[in-house]
Amino acid sequence: MLYYLFEYLHEEFGMPGAGVFRYISFRAAAAIVLSLFMSMVVGKRIIRKLARKQIGETVRDLGLAGQKEKEGTPTMGGLIIIAAILLPVLLLCRLDNIYVLLMVLTTVWLGLMGFLDDYIKVFKHDKHGLQGKFKVLGQVVLGLIVGLVMCFHPDIVVSQKSNEAIVEDHNLLDGNEYDKAVASFENNTEKSLVTTIPFVKNNELSYTGIMEAIHEGWGKYAWILFVLVVIFVITATSNGSNLTDGMDGLATGTSAIIGATLAILAWVSGNVIFANYLNIMYIPYTGELVVFIAAFVGATIGFLWYNAYPAQVFMGDTGSLTIGGIIAVFALLIRKELLLPILCGIFLVESLSVIIQVGYFRYTKRKYGEGRRVFLMSPLHHHYQKKGYKEPKIVLRFFIVGILLAVITLATLKLR
């Protein structure tokens, strides 16, 4: 909203300073400051209200150190994150941008689904919350919407390497030359179901090419494969975030690291000079996503202020399902979904630890008559807790691993 207001003031009245809202860097900085302020200041009031309403966490006895102290801690704090994302986005983003609209839809959709899950747990006193099949159904429907829009919306295009747009001097100061480069790239845009493969020189994978390799003439059905991939990525990442949310600050801090990395990837993908220099696909109109992800980072860091050990509030499924879905859809929109196993390695390992634990337990129960376990407890962070590590140490070490994974992810831009 503010974007359109200041754009009007700049064009109609020549208001000094109003033109600064045209710059993505300024709006991204404003978004991170505003979301940080909201999650820290407004969040404090929400926490008090949750405490007064006795919307507290019911903790199952898992035999973990410090578990009883968490009983009654306010939950559903994901509302703070969602509010701290949406308000800056509505104020500072261009709302006619299809990428921003998809991210807002994702935030609201998964936020409502997570809220319903927490509501059932807290107010209906059902520890299982929303049934798993309904969670998956909600994620699948969201995946269908996002996938189909990406396949068929006319504004979602990419521009692969264009000889006309190669710029010899990457430190351009001449605005006219920059405009020419942008125009050249945008004149070579196309609807293309491609994505980025890490560590490969010509690092673009075509879903159409995959279908053609399977059977000649099947390229026209590539959208089906793409939509299935979108559904899988959203479901896996959202649930991975949900499983990671088991220690104070763990999911929040990890998501902030991931969000900051995605911001850099979106910036270079949506900037013609950086895209050309790094020899990656240029994706027009994705610059607005930098403003969105800046709000996401600010919201998660601000929430971490209260969610760090010892937590004053838990995000609940309202937050964990939402932040995982945001990360997944954002990566899909900037064609970096194949980087998620690296960037979201924490989510991946946490999910795999549960799959391995459950699968091995069921296998050994059938074979030997008694279930055996690989880990002392899953997800993985509880395994280390059972081994005697203190919760803050586990969380901090996971953060360090998350930063390392973020650096490796960014290195894939040049290491091929």
3-state secondary structure string, the chain? Answer: CHHHHHHHHHHHHCCCCHHHHHCHHHHHHHHHHHHHHHHHHHHHHHHHHHHHCCCECCCCCCCCCCCHHHCCCECCCHHHHHHHHHHHHHHHCCCCCHHHHHHHHHHHHHHHHHHHHHHHHHHCCCCCCCCHHHHHHHHHHHHHHHHHHHHHCCCCCEECCCHHHCCCCCCCCCHHHHHHHHHHHHCCCECCCEEECCCCCCCEEEHHHHHHHHCCCHHHHHHHHHHHHHHHHHHHHHHHHHHHCCCCCHHHHHHHHHHHHHHHHHHHHCCHHHHHHHCCCECCCCCHHHHHHHHHHHHHHHHHHHHCCCCCCCCHHHHHHHHHHHHHHHHHHCCCHHHHHHHCHHHHHHHHHHHHHHHHHHHHHHHHCCCCCCCCCCCHHHHHHHCCCCHHHHHHHHHHHHHHHHHHHHHCCCCC
The percentage of the chain sitting over the pLDDT mark of 70, rounded to a whole number, equals 89
Residue 56's beta-bridge partner residues?
74
- Dump pLDDT digits (tens) for 201-220: 878 899 999 999 999 999 99
Max avg pLDDT among 7-11, 43-47, 144-148: 144-148
Q: Average per-residue pLDDT in the chain?
A: 88
pLDDT on residue 122: 86
Q: Is the pLDDT of residue 149 over 90?
A: yes
- Dump pLDDT digits (tens) for 314-369: 999 999 999 999 999 999 999 999 999 999 999 999 999 999 999 999 999 999 98
pLDDT on residue 173: 41
Question: How far apart, in whole angstroms, are the C-alpha atoms of residue 322 and residue 319?
Answer: 5
Q: How confident is the model at residue 168 (pLDDT cuts 50, 70, 90)?
A: very low
Q: Is the pLDDT of residue 312 over 80?
A: yes
Report domain extents, the chain.
28-58+67-340
Q: Is the pLDDT of residue 148 over 80?
A: yes
Q: Is the pLDDT of residue 171 over 70?
A: no
Q: Is the pLDDT of residue 200 over 50?
A: yes
- Dump pLDDT digits (tens) for 56-100: 666 665 667 666 677 778 889 999 999 999 999 999 999 999 999
pLDDT on residue 273: 83
Q: Is the pLDDT of residue 163 over 50?
A: no
pLDDT on residue 186: 60
Rounded CA Rg of the chain: 22
Q: How confident is the model at residue 53 (pLDDT cuts 50, 70, 90)?
A: confident
